[in-house]
Chains A and B, each alone.
Chain A
Amino acid sequence: MFDVQAVKADFPILATTVHGGQKLVYLDSGATSQKPRQVLDAERDYYEQSNAAVHRGAHALAEAATSAFEHARARIAQFVGAQAPDLIFTKNATEGLNLSAYAFSNATAIAQWDEAIVDPRFVLKPGDSVVVTEMEHHSNLVPWQELCRKTGATLRWIPLTEDGRLDLSHLSSIIDETTRVVSVVHQSNILGTINPVREIMDQAHAVGAIGVVDACQSIPHMPVNVDALGADLLAWSGHKMLGPTGIGCLWGTPDVLSSMPPVLSGGSMIELVQMESSTYAPPPQRFEAGTPVVAQAVALSAAVDYLQALGMREVQSHEQALTEYALKGLNDLDGVRVIGPDTIVDRGSAISFVVDSLHPHDVGQVLDSRGVAVRVGHHCAWPTCRRFGVPSTTRMSPYIYNDESDIDAALEGIVAAQKYFGVK
């Protein structure tokens, strides 16, 4: 049985008040989640008991730190059904997606001088295409735009239907023999849509393209298995799944990771260094130059323990029930329109909406005055907003520590905003 009140009690910040005594109602977990005591304790324990430089040094603490770091890698990998050597720690998901895009631009640059030493799958030229969707977060759009700018490849995208889903009716003409890489979001951060990633990855592989998935909004909220998704590369962030800021993950198949040139280079990522040139360590170290994110990895591992103890199926059911409750509540309000699927089928808990005659900034301000934290703006998905003809939206994104009373507080706040501005 999922006990939301017990979960709530684990998050110290949820007991705080804002604006002189207003109870905090935190509905902005799509932006970043709050952290339970267990995660905060794990990070403190690491610094108090194990802190040292990892992968070097021959003293007790160095061994303890390395062990904690690599155990964390194994634990986080296991959470998504992966093997530890295939999991790279980054500073965030944006870095993981850039690391993927840079593999192509770096390989393309190297190939100009020595074609023999790069994997041709990563070499792009004019006439090649890169495919994304019209619901990408900027972090899974702009790096691919940049890749096209550097290589002369063409960016294509899968369009959206009116109800906020991918329009896959022309998939085989969008992902065709010119396509070298396909990068899609698993769950939209603005629409909440859960995309049929497997079908898209299969089409990518059918034409010999590399498949990349942005899993930022899915891994914190539902069971995800990397093999089932069929991607070659999968990026997500730690801070949206109860972990600390400053850490993200990039998982890749051994075949693809071992074919990718490094992005950041320097210490920790080398095999052999001479004045003329160097060779590089195998993944994951090849992609983790410099001092890695040790304390963050330990804390993220504790976050994974916390989520797994709740059970990801239970987490998903809890969120689905809240989403259904919120969608019904929003649909029952006059002058409020949900942007995105209005059923819980293949839908997560990022719930965007617009209020007639009211700008999201003003809606958010009234909600904030009542202690309700939501996100307003374009959610780093500006083209998606344009697709739906709105400059921005208000978004509530409940998580494991929210209950129906939190949704009610938001709904009451929306009505209060309509009254305040005299639009109802």
Chain B
Amino acid sequence: MELDSLYQEIILDHYKHPRGKGLLELPQGSAHHVNPTCGDEITVQVSTNAEGGLEIGYEGQGCSISQASASVLTELLTGSSVDQSQTVREAFIELMHAQGQGEPDEDVLGDAVAFAGVAKFPARVKCALLAWMALQDAEIKAGMLSKGDGS
């Protein structure tokens, strides 16, 4: 088994040097998600700035995959619109369910393409998705998305 296909350099870098970690001062929406099988936890918060761009904050504890994923997500989606965040999330979820056969679009997913290999490890897909699902929930709680918009 190739560990390196799971633990890409980009993932390890985000794990060791998380970007944008910390909570927002005035979140409009906040969601706390846990992975009940391993106890990983993440809180993701959102608000929008004057131009309608997303501000994202997070705090969490967990494995390299779950924490790096939160860091990548934050770097990638800060400043983007809610619509854009949804498009990227849908692409990421599709990639995670591709069982390693996905061909990720780097223009859409940026650093998140590094998680393509995670999809070959079914036990770790949930880790990678944790922050993304929490973000969706936070957007719903902030009234940015309605429940039916969930992907």
A residues with a Cβ closer than 8 A to B are 19-20, 22, 359-362, 365-366, 368-369, 376-378, 382, 385, 391-392, 420-422
A361 touching B63, Cβ below 8 Å: yes
B1 touching A20, Cβ below 8 Å: yes
B7 touching A361, Cβ below 8 Å: no
Cβ of A338 to closest chain B Cβ, rounded Å:
19
Interface centre among A20, A377, A382 (most CB of B within 10 A): A377
Of A366, A378, A421, the contact of B39 (CB 8 Å cutoff): A378
B38 touching A361, Cβ below 8 Å: yes
Q: Nearest chain-B residue to A385 (Cβ)? A: B39
Interface centre among B37, B41, B63, B65 (most CB of A within 10 A): B63
* Residues from chain A with Cβ under 8 Å of B6 in the complex: 365
* Residues from chain B with Cβ under 8 Å of A378 in the complex: 38-39
Cβ of B71 to closest chain A Cβ, rounded Å:
14
Taking residues whose C-beta sits less than 8 angstroms from the other chain, chain B's interface range is 10 to 19
Q: Does more than half of chain B's interface fall in helix, strand or loop, or is it mixed?
A: mixed
* Residues from chain B with Cβ under 8 Å of A422 in the complex: 16
A382-B16 Cα distance, complex, nearest whole Å = 26
A361-B62 Cα distance, complex, nearest whole Å = 8
A377-B34 Cα distance, complex, nearest whole Å = 12
Per-residue CB proximity of B39-78 to A under 8 Å, as 1/0? Answer: 1110000000000000000000111110000000000000
A20-B12 Cα distance, complex, nearest whole Å = 25
A360-B63 Cα distance, complex, nearest whole Å = 7
Q: A361-B63, A361-B127, A365-B124 are in contact. Are A391 and B40 (CB under 8 A)?
A: yes
10 contacts between A and B (CB under 8 A): A20-B1, A22-B1, A361-B64, A362-B63, A362-B64, A376-B38, A378-B39, A391-B61, A392-B39, A422-B16
Cβ of A269 to closest chain B Cβ, rounded Å:
34
A369 touching B3, Cβ below 8 Å: yes
A391 touching B62, Cβ below 8 Å: yes
Cβ of B137 to closest chain A Cβ, rounded Å:
21
Q: Nearest chain-A residue to B2 (Cβ)? A: A369
> A359-B62, A362-B64, A378-B39 provided; 15 other pairs, C-beta below 8 A?
A359-B63, A361-B38, A362-B65, A365-B6, A365-B121, A368-B1, A376-B38, A377-B38, A377-B39, A382-B39, A385-B39, A391-B39, A392-B38, A420-B3, A422-B16
